[in-house]
Amino acid sequence: MTVQNGKDLLIKLDLTGDGQFQIIAGLRATRIGFNAEAVDVTSLDSSGGWRELLAGAGVKSASVSGSGVFRDADTDERARQIFFDGETPQFQVIIPGFGIVQGPFQVSAIEYAGTHNGEATYEMSLASAGALSFTAL
């Protein structure tokens, strides 16, 4: 994989549920993380006392976060609505040179900030809320 431009890591939202994804506007920084809980099945019979993990078990999750400035009333309004209504709509995360992760996410946090002589900014965190799919680019 060659060097990729950070601005190409995109978070997209299905605004209306019709499968048409739109970039959440104004983001300046984005991040995605994947986690899998380990299920420890170590016993007194474990070879050499080494820990053993149960393959394929445990809870998988993904977290997505982004921060930026307000640019687009439609995506800003929809993100707020998702948070306050507790919805879990479809999102896409485009990872340049790698692939597209898609599935339901819950907006787990929205934070707003601003300074006297600067722009209003926001930070948003998403938590996976079901099975995710991956499509290689």
The predicted model scores a pTM of 0.86
Please spell the DSSP secondary structure of the chain, one letter per residue.
Answer: -----GGG-EEEEESSSSS-EEE-TTEEEEEEEEEE---B---TTSGGG---B-TT-S-EEEEEEEEEE---HHHHHHHHHHHHHT---EEEEEETTTEEEEEEEEEEEEEEE--TTS--EEEEEEEE-S--EEEE-
Categorize the per-residue pLDDT at 136 as very low, low, confident or very high, splitting at 50, 70 and 90: very high
What is the pLDDT of the chain when averaged over all its residues? 91
Residues 65, 94, 12, 88, CA torsion sign? negative
Q: Which domain holds residue 129?
A: 6-136
**Does any domain span residue 53?**
yes
What would the mean pLDDT of 121-127 be, rounded to a whole number?
94
**Does any domain span residue 105?**
yes
**Does any domain span residue 108?**
yes
Question: Tell me, what CATH number does 127's domain have?
Answer: 4.10.410
What percentage of the chain reaches a pLDDT higher than 90?
61
pLDDT, position 1: 62
Structure token digits, residue 68: 């930026």
pLDDT, position 27: 86
List pLDDT tens digits, range 83-106.
999 999 999 999 998 999 999 999
Categorize the per-residue pLDDT at 108 as very low, low, confident or very high, splitting at 50, 70 and 90: very high
Categorize the per-residue pLDDT at 137 as very low, low, confident or very high, splitting at 50, 70 and 90: confident
Most confident of the following: 1-5, 73-77, 111-115, 129-133: 129-133
Structure token digits, residue 48: 């050499």
Position 19: which residue type?
G
**Does any domain span residue 1?**
no
For the chain, the domain total comes to 1
The answer to whether the beta carbons of residues 47 and 63 sit under 8 Å apart is no
pLDDT, position 12: 92
pLDDT, position 87: 95
